[in-house]
Amino acid sequence: MSRRSIVYLDGFNFYYGAVRGTRHKWLNLESVFRRLRPDDDLQAIYYFTAPVIGPKRPRQECYLRALSTLPTVRIILGKFKIKEVRCRVVGCSYPGSRFFDAPEEKRTDVNIALQMLDDVHHHRTDRIVLVSGDSDLVPALEMVKVESPHTELIVYVPSRHPVRGAAIELRTAADKNKTFPLRLLEVCQFPAEVPDGRGGVIRKPAGW
């Protein structure tokens, strides 16, 4: 029998590690993970992200609407918080304030950790598939191992760069680890128009 699997996708880590700068942002996550884990009994794909601030938000909202048409995908939102940071550029001659506002993503790590622990506590899965390179998730994996030692932990690190892709702590905390195969991005795109289930369509954002 196929083992039950749940995927936990760290949205911004995945975007900056694998998708940013490509033409493959219109990504069908269900297609990705059915190709990536063809022998698994895929129970759910949790997509953790936060509503962005600024002009990219309509495109993100459009993408989230497309993802919501997929039966296995569950979208879990955190939030962005504006914080004041200091410019640390050496030799900068800007005469104004050295402080500026910058958005900081909040809650994603906690949301992933809580969802994983809740799923193993309620015996919903035999295998956790985590897509992230964030070492902040190491304690969550370690706790899963304590609470459910028979649950298999697999990490896919999304990265186009060797330094970012090292993720040694996270890889070490898992039973198995791999680098996310970037070839799947091109072959797992939504069509340009996605039926919304209510008689309308969701159109791929211009420029994607």
Find out whether 174 and 153 touch, Cβ atoms under 8 Å. yes
Cβ count near 43 (within 10 Å): 15
Count the residues in the chain.
Answer: 208
pLDDT tens-digit series, residues 155-203: 999 998 776 678 999 999 999 999 999 999 999 999 999 999 999 999 9
Question: Does residue 60 sit in helix, strand or coil?
Answer: helix
Burial of 74 (0-12, 13-18, 19+ CB in 10 A): middle
- Band (pLDDT 50/70/90 cuts) for residue 150 is very high
pLDDT tens-digit series, residues 78-104: 855 555 567 667 776 666 666 654 545
pLDDT tens-digit series, residues 21-34: 999 999 999 999 99
Give residue 98's pLDDT: 60
Cα–Cα separations (whole angstroms), residue 177 to 4, 167, 172, 201? 18, 10, 8, 38
Concatenated DSSP letters of 140-180: HHHHHHHH-TTSEEEEEE--SSHHHHH-HHHHHHSSEEEE-
CATH fold of the domain at 4-79+105-203? Rossmann fold (3.40.50)
